[in-house]
Amino acid sequence: MSDVTLIREILTLGNQLKSTLEEEFIALSEKNLDHLETVQVRKVSLLESIQAQWPQEADTRSEADASPSAEDATADPLWDEARTLLNECKEAHIRNDLLLKRQLEVVRTVLSSLTQRSADNHSALYDKMGRMRRKR
C-alpha cells in the first residue's frame, strides 16, 4: 500500500472515529445506554483499525536513529493532518470520559444516599434485640 493510500485510509478511519466519538457524547448526554453500547463496539473496532494501519516505525524510532526515508515518509503534510485529526479524537475521548465519570459520581452519590437513608430507617425500626420498636 502506498503512503498516500495509507494516509487516506487513516484519515477516513479518523473521521469515522471522530463522528463516532460525537455520537458517544450524545448517547452519554441522553443516557441512552443501548445506543452507547453499539457506539462503544464501533469505536473499539475503529481504534484497532487505526492502530493496525499506523506505521510502527514512525512511533518507535527516536530522533537519533531515524532513517532519512522514514523521516520523509512521516513528514508529509497529510501525516500532520492525520496526527491533528487523531489529537482531536483524543480530546473528544477525554471529554466523553469526563462526562461519564461525572455521571458515575452522581449515581454513586444517589446510591450512597439511598443506602444510608435505608440503613438509618432500618436502625430506627428495630431495637438492639431485633424486635420492632414501639412508636413513641
The residue that leads in pLDDT, 2 or 12, is 12
Q: What is the pLDDT of residues 7-32, one digit of tens each?
A: 999 999 999 999 999 999 999 999 99
Q: What is the pLDDT of residue 64?
A: 46
DSSP state at residue 2: -
| Domain CATH code at residue 105 | 1.20.58
Position 60 in a domain: yes
Confidence of residue 115 (pLDDT cuts 50, 70, 90): confident
Position 132 in a domain: no
Q: What is the pLDDT of residue 61?
A: 47
Specify the number of domains making up the chain: 1
Q: What is the pLDDT of residues 58-108, one digit of tens each?
A: 555 444 454 445 455 556 788 899 999 999 999 999 999 999 999 999 899
Dist CA 12 CA 49 (whole Å): 11
Position 68 in a domain: yes
Position 63 in a domain: yes
Q: State the alpha helices, DSSP H only, in 31-76.
A: 33-53, 56-60, 68-74
Position 135 in a domain: no
Position 131 in a domain: no
Domain containing residue 84? 3-125
Strand partners, 126: 132
Position 136 in a domain: no
One-letter amino acid of 107? V
Q: What is the pLDDT of residue 66?
A: 47
Q: What is the pLDDT of residue 77?
A: 85
